[in-house]
């Protein structure tokens, strides 16, 4: 079944880069949606089923951590795997996001292969 992916990042350049990488994974990709911050992401998630969310942390309006908290509080959304894609490589931040429910963490800048590998790993857990 084709996978719907939601890319959440306040940088349009980063969103289109991630979109291209997603297209190169070889995974069966359905719809790719984009959001500029957490609030926009929640609006998309409210109307469309997404199989995977790739989210930045530092964004205006609602950041990635708040997005994750909101998703974890929702019975349905908490089942959607989230991979954090951030410039913040500090151990504290990574541990905090994983403790909040993130399924994976990729540090920017990243090689396309590392995001692809993280996506496959996150989705495998889901289908296990
Ligand atoms: Mg950002």
CA atoms of 26 and 24, how far apart (whole Å): 6
CA atoms of 96 and 92, how far apart (whole Å): 6
Q: Peptide bond before 109: cis, by omega within 30 degrees of 0?
A: yes
Host domain of residue 103: 3-127
Domain count, the chain: 1
72's tokens: 């974890």
4's tokens: 């719907």
C-alpha distances (whole Å) from 99 to each of 48, 59, 68, 72, 96 are 26, 20, 10, 11, 5
Place of tokens 């998630």: 45
Question: From the CA of 56, how far away is ligand 1's center (Å)?
Answer: 6
Question: From the CA of 10, how far away is ligand 1's center (Å)?
Answer: 5
What is the reported pLDDT for 15? 98
Question: From the CA of 123, how far away is ligand 1's center (Å)?
Answer: 24
What is the reported pLDDT for 128? 44
CATH code at position 19: 3.40.50.2300
Question: From the CA of 59, how far away is ligand 1's center (Å)?
Answer: 5
pLDDT per residue over 112-123, tens digit each? Answer: 999 999 999 998
Are 72 and 78 in contact, with CB atoms under 8 Å apart? yes
pLDDT per residue over 73-91, tens digit each? Answer: 999 999 999 999 999 999 9
CB-proximal residues (5 Å) to ion ligand 1: 10, 56, 58
User: What is the distance in angstroms between the CA of the first residue and the CA of the last residue of the chain?
Assistant: 15
**Is beta strand 3-8 parallel, antiparallel or unpaired with respect to 52-55?**
parallel
Per-residue model confidence as pLDDT tens for the chain (128 residues): 899 999 999 999 999 999 999 998 889 999 999 999 999 999 999 999 999 999 999 999 999 999 999 999 999 999 999 999 999 999 999 999 999 999 999 999 999 999 999 999 998 854 44
Question: From the CA of 128, how far away is ligand 1's center (Å)?
Answer: 32
């Amino acid at each position: 079944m084709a996978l719907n992916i939601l890319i959440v990042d306040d940088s349009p350049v980063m969103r289109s880069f991630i979109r291209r990488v997603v297209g190169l994974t070889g995974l069966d990709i359905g719809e790719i949606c984009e959001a500029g911050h957490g609030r926009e992401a929640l609006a998309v998630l409210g109307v469309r089923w997404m199989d995977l969310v790739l989210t930045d942390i530092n964004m205006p309006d609602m950041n990635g951590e708040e997005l994750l908290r909101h998703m974890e509080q929702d019975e349905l959304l908490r089942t959607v795997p989230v991979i954090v894609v951030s410039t913040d490589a500090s151990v504290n931040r990574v541990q905090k996001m994983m403790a909040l429910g993130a399924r994976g963490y990729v540090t920017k800048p990243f090689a396309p292969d590392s995001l692809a590998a993280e996506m496959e790993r996150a989705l495998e857990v889901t289908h296990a």
